């Protein structure tokens, strides 16, 4: 029988699974030692990048800031001046219509005055002195289209001149001129329809502007018909 030498104590003995002298188990003793851990250091994890929420916040922040800048620029940018009709003899035409109005008013007690766009703007420019007026309204121009009247106004707000464009139908209520809005812009910024009523109320009913739109007691109504301003008078 083959002999084996104990790898630990050196005892020669017959083939077996363990040493008769030191009792070691040959298979366990001969097993390869564990591989020592590598001397190469483990890589240091890189710091985590910005979270998706933070990236989203940064994008939204700049979008909101850009939107605010655009809104301010649009509000402070005056809308283009409307091209209103102008006729050289508008003043004479108004004088003749006023004479006819006086005659009809004296004889019948009621009358109607029809002014086209050129005549209306001529009358406004001749009779409304915005430089001397304490009103916040600095300029006013009117366009007539069918039964719709378009107002272009420049008014003073917190020391800054702003332009306001309003479209709608006019009428007289309790002796004051009123506008039922259907569209408008503040500067070059379109105004949502739900915000127009507030803007119109501020313009027509604020203490500094209200007296500007007071009508004489003889004027009962004002309408736009067939692109003309029709003013109804009665005693």
Q: Is residue 40 part of a domain?
A: no
**The tokens of 142 are what?**
């009117």
**Residue 132 and residue 18 share a domain:** no
Q: Is residue 61 part of a domain?
A: no
**Residue 122 and residue 19 share a domain:** no
**Residue 118 and residue 204 share a domain:** yes
Out of 2-6, 47-51, 72-76, 131-135, the most confident range is 2-6
Segments forming the whole domain that contains residue 20: 1-32
pLDDT of residue 142: 87
Q: Is residue 49 part of a domain?
A: no
Q: Is residue 5 part of a domain?
A: yes
Q: Is residue 213 part of a domain?
A: yes
CA distances (Å), 55 to each of 60, 63, 65, 69, 145, in order? 9, 13, 16, 22, 51
Q: Is residue 163 part of a domain?
A: yes
Q: Is residue 176 part of a domain?
A: yes
The secondary structure element, H or E, covering residue 65 is: helix 52-76
**Residue 230 and residue 137 share a domain:** yes
Average pLDDT over residues 28-37: 57
Domain count for the chain, please give it: 2
Q: How far apart are CA 181 and CA 17, in angstroms?
A: 107
Sheet holding 160-173, edge to edge: 137-145, 148-157, 160-173, 176-186, 189-190
Q: Is residue 145 part of a domain?
A: yes
**Residue 129 and residue 24 share a domain:** no
Express each pLDDT in 118-171 by its tens digit.
888 888 877 766 555 555 677 788 889 999 988 887 877 777 778 888 889 988
**Residue 117 and residue 19 share a domain:** no
Express each pLDDT in 63-99 by its tens digit.
666 656 555 555 556 666 666 766 667 778 888 888 8
Express each pLDDT in 171-183 by its tens digit.
888 888 888 888 8
Of 192 and 14, the one with more pLDDT: 192
pLDDT at 218 over 70: yes
The secondary structure of residue 24, as a DSSP letter, is: -
pLDDT of residue 47: 52
What is the SS3 string spanning 33-59?
A: CCCCCCCCCCCCCCCCCCCHHHHHHHH
**Residue 14 and residue 101 share a domain:** no
pLDDT of residue 85: 65
* Averaged confidence pLDDT in the chain: 75
Q: What is the CA radius of gyration of the chain?
A: 46
pLDDT of residue 211: 81
| Composition of the chain by helix, strand, coil, percent to 5 | 35, 30, 35
Average pLDDT over residues 96-121: 84
> Contact 86/76 with Cβ under 8 angstroms?
no
**The tokens of 27 are what?**
């298979």
Of 234 and 133, the one with more pLDDT: 234
**Residue 114 and residue 26 share a domain:** no
Question: How crowded is residue 168: how many other Cβ atoms within 10 Å of its Cβ?
Answer: 19
Percent of the chain with pLDDT over 70: 70
Average pLDDT over residues 176-195: 84
**Residue 209 and residue 103 share a domain:** yes
**Residue 185 and residue 113 share a domain:** yes
**Residue 98 and residue 181 share a domain:** yes
**Residue 110 and residue 21 share a domain:** no
> Contact 199/205 with Cβ under 8 angstroms?
no
pLDDT of residue 35: 52
pLDDT of residue 197: 82
């Amino acid at each position: 029988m083959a002999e084996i030498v104990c790898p630990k104590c050196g005892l020669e003995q017959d083939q077996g699974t363990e040493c008769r002298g030191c009792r070691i188990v040959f298979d366990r003793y001969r097993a390869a030692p564990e591989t020592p851990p590598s001397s190469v250091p483990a890589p240091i994890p890189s710091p985590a990048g910005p979270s998706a929420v933070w990236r989203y916040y940064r994008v939204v922040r700049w979008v909101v800031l850009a939107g605010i800048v655009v809104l301010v620029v649009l509000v402070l940018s005056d809308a283009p001046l409307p091209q209103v009709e102008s006729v050289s003899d508008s003043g004479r035409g108004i004088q003749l219509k006023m004479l006819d109005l006086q005659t009809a008013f004296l004889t019948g007690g009621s009358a109607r005055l029809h002014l086209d766009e050129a005549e209306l703007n001529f009358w406004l420019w001749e009779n409304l002195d915005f430089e001397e007026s304490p009103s916040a309204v600095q300029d006013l121009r009117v366009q007539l289209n069918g039964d719709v009247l378009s107002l272009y106004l420049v008014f003073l707000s917190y020391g800054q001149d702003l332009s306001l464009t309003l479209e709608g139908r006019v009428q007289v209520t309790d002796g004051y001129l009123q506008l039922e809005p259907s569209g408008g812009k503040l500067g070059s910024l379109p105004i949502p329809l739900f915000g127009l009523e507030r803007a119109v109320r501020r313009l027509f009913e604020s203490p500094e502007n209200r007296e500007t739109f007071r009508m004489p007691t003889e004027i009962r109504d004002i309408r736009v018909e067939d692109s003309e301003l029709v003013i109804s008078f009665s005693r």
